[in-house]
Structure 1
Amino acid sequence: MATDGVASIGECMLELSGQAGPNWRMGFAGDTFNTLWALHALSGERPATYVSAFGDDPFSQGQISFFAENGIGVGASPVIPGARPGLYAITLTGAERAFTYWRSDAAAKRLASDPAALAKSLENQALVYFSGITLAILDAAARKTLLVAVAKARAAGSRIAFDPNYRPRLWQSRDEAQAAILDALAVTDIALPTFPDEQMLFGDTAPQVTAERMGKLVGEVIVKNGEEPALIATGGTLQPVPAQHVATPVDTTGAGDSFNGGYLAARLAGHAPAEAVQRAHRVAAAVVQVRGALAPFEVLRTAFDS
């Protein structure tokens, strides 16, 4: 029987964000962690767990301490001796960002190395979230282990949410990515794709094509499309919900991830999909007006409730 917890599975990295001159600011971020950050901020007293694998180095210890300081646990996530977190740096041109990664030996690649620990971390969760990036950093055997654990959590009553979040550079081939994402959708209750990603991966010609294709596989689909309307597919019907325009965005890092967190928080609170999308749009609009992937909790809450 699922309880009130929320869990997110994936890789949290060290984030270097550029400042004026030669100075850089270091933080912690990654697609599934960004979503959990927003979901946790907007979900009241629900326990939050970030499921991954960590090194035994000072930076990994700093990650875990940062999580704890913000009310996020790590469940039974393994600590891998000698391993360390991945690292990425953000460079900005205006508000648009580019990323440079160092992650080939990241501890998170071994998040499914202990199947019993993984399953334990997913026990008694109201919602479990993961992404295509979670799948992409794992080898084929580890992906299978992950999806078995997710399916087990779903059978026990957890709602499963998944963002395909296709990043071509992380996959050996487009065919491999398609197969893995279709396997994930088979155990998913809420899908949160982004249209340009689906256009690259499956050749979809319009958001409606993505919504209709994915709606045959998943009961609740929200197709994100930047500043264009998000498209809801439920019960065989499509409903667009306009985005909230931001005239002068500061940094678009984490906007889609925060949208996901806002949407899932609203759905857990009992809001209908259209209302949940409206709240998620407001959250994403707030996030692009601050630097870095993690907006302060109060910023997220004010946007969500406005």
Structure 2
Amino acid sequence: MDVVTLGESMILLTPDTDGPLRFVNSFHKTIGGAESNVAIALSRLGHQVGWISKLGDDEFGLYIRNFIRGEGVDTSQVTFAKLASTAVYFKESQPGQDPKVYYYRKHSAASEMKPLDIDQAYFKQAKFVHLTGITPALSASCKETIYHAIKLARQSEAKIVFDPNVRLKLWSKQEAKETLLDIALQSDIVLPGIEEGELITGETEPEKIAAALLKGKVQAVVVKLGAKGAYFATKDESAYVPGYEVKSIIDTVGAGDGFAAGFLSGLIREWDYKKAVQFGNRIGAYALGVKGDVEGYPFWQQVNPEKTGEDILR
């Protein structure tokens, strides 16, 4: 297994028309969730990925499990809750702006995840464990589950890749800062956005954010900079890596997860950090051109530089 990830996936209802949701009469149903987004993108890039979660024992839960399994992701560790529902969220489309997102996830099935839901033997198969800051914000038991996952990853010698993915609608700014910094410093690689880095470290510049996190077990920090690309730093090297130009941006949700998947794909293929970051920029750019969280992620045959003849580090 190349990567194991865990977290909540939800039903995503995207409006068929732009404007306030009160005027929308029809929606398109698909799925969304940071960890499952990464899992699907990695699977399309040719990797073996496992996704751990808890879903409601309902039609939406079955749909999500089947959708993700249909993308080639291993869902054998997904469980179903009898008394809690699968979460739902809505996007509100505004032309030329990032979509507004409305979550209905309180007391969801995924919020009932607990440490006993994780099989230690399953973790032993993984080269990388991908975690986000969303899961510990869902509930106290989810927070315990993340720390248990970190413990199991350490025991299995899997590298921990942590994307803070701040969701301040789920918890206070102070609790988010304290918990996410603690998790970050127990990880091998940290992938903050520029605003997330500022929240966690108090710094505003990519170099200073990276320096503040590059301590303890942390081997590398990659600060995502949106259209400008990303800045990465290790104890031995650092560089700004430019992004890819996207002429028509339709939906920004899922781009950061695409970056994480592309970057992880590069590490699995044993590329150096600069090449892996550039590939992350490229996969993230693909997500911007279509509506939906996962619909834009490419397959390996579309982006394999040996087949396409493209230079990733153009």
Q: TM-score, normalization: structure 2?
A: 0.88
Deviation at 1:245, TM superposition (A): 1.9
Paired position in structure 1 for 2:43: 40
- Most deviating of 198-207 and 130-139: 198-207
Kindly, what percent of the aligned residue pairs are identical? 28
Deviation at 1:236, TM superposition (A): 4.6
What SS does the aligned partner of 1:66 have? helix
- Say if 2:6 is the partner of 1:9: yes
What SS does the aligned partner of 2:270 have? coil
How big is each residue's C-alpha offset from its partner over 1:254-296, in whole Å with a ceiling of 9 and x where there is no partner? 0011000000011101111100111111111111011111135
CA contact (8 A) 1:287 1:300 kept: no
Q: 2:192 is aligned with what amino acid?
A: P
**For this pair of structures, how many residues does the alignment match?**
298
Distance 1:240 1:64, change over 3 A: same
Paired position in structure 2 for 1:101: 103
Deviation at 1:94, TM superposition (A): 2.2
Paired position in structure 2 for 1:265: 265
What SS does the aligned partner of 1:184 have? helix
- Say if 2:246 is the partner of 1:243: no
How big is each residue's C-alpha offset from its partner over 1:205-229, in whole Å with a ceiling of 9 and x where there is no partner? 2111111111124111110011123
Deviation at 1:239, TM superposition (A): 0.9
CA distance in structure 1 between the partners assigned to 2:155 and 2:40 by the alignment: 26
CA contact (8 A) 1:282 1:304 kept: no
Paired position in structure 1 for 2:26: 23
Distance 1:19 1:248, change over 3 A: same
CA distance in structure 1 between the partners assigned to 2:170 and 2:64 by the alignment: 23
Distance 1:304 1:224, change over 3 A: farther
CA distance in structure 2 between the partners assigned to 1:57 and 1:233 by the alignment: 44
- Most deviating of 75-84 and 191-200: 75-84
CA distance in structure 2 between the partners assigned to 1:297 and 1:224 by the alignment: 18
CA distance in structure 2 between the partners assigned to 1:304 and 1:278 by the alignment: 13
CA contact (8 A) 2:210 2:221 kept: yes
- Most deviating of 205-214 and 261-270: 205-214
How big is each residue's C-alpha offset from its partner over 1:104-123, in whole Å with a ceiling of 9 and x where there is no partner? 121111222x5263434423
- Most deviating of 217-226 and 68-77: 68-77
CA RMSD of aligned residues (A): 2.0
After superposition, where does 1:257-296 map in structure 2 within 5 Å?
A: 257-295=257-295
CA distance in structure 2 between the partners assigned to 1:285 and 1:60 by the alignment: 29
Deviation at 1:53, TM superposition (A): 0.8
CA distance in structure 1 between the partners assigned to 2:135 and 2:117 by the alignment: 18
Paired position in structure 1 for 2:21: none
Unaligned runs of 5+ in 2: 18-23
- Say if 2:69 is the partner of 1:72: no
Distance 1:264 1:158, change over 3 A: same
CA distance in structure 1 between the partners assigned to 2:286 and 2:179 by the alignment: 33
Distance 1:136 1:16, change over 3 A: same
After superposition, where does 1:99-248 map in structure 2 within 5 Å?
A: 99-112=101-114, 114-115=115-116, 117-139=118-140, 141-171=141-171, 173-217=172-216, 218-248=218-248
CA distance in structure 1 between the partners assigned to 2:168 and 2:110 by the alignment: 19
Q: 1:98 is aligned with what amino acid?
A: K
How big is each residue's C-alpha offset from its partner over 1:75-96, in whole Å with a ceiling of 9 and x where there is no partner? 3333211222111111122252
How big is each residue's C-alpha offset from its partner over 1:105-156, in whole Å with a ceiling of 9 and x where there is no partner? 21111222x52634344231111101000111131x5423431232222221
CA distance in structure 2 between the partners assigned to 1:60 and 1:72 by the alignment: 16
Q: 2:101 is aligned with what amino acid?
A: F
What SS does the aligned partner of 1:168 have? coil
- Most deviating of 191-200 and 294-303: 294-303
Bigger relative contact order (CA 8 A; separation at least 6): 1
Q: TM-score, normalization: structure 1?
A: 0.90
CA distance in structure 1 between the partners assigned to 2:157 and 2:200 by the alignment: 31
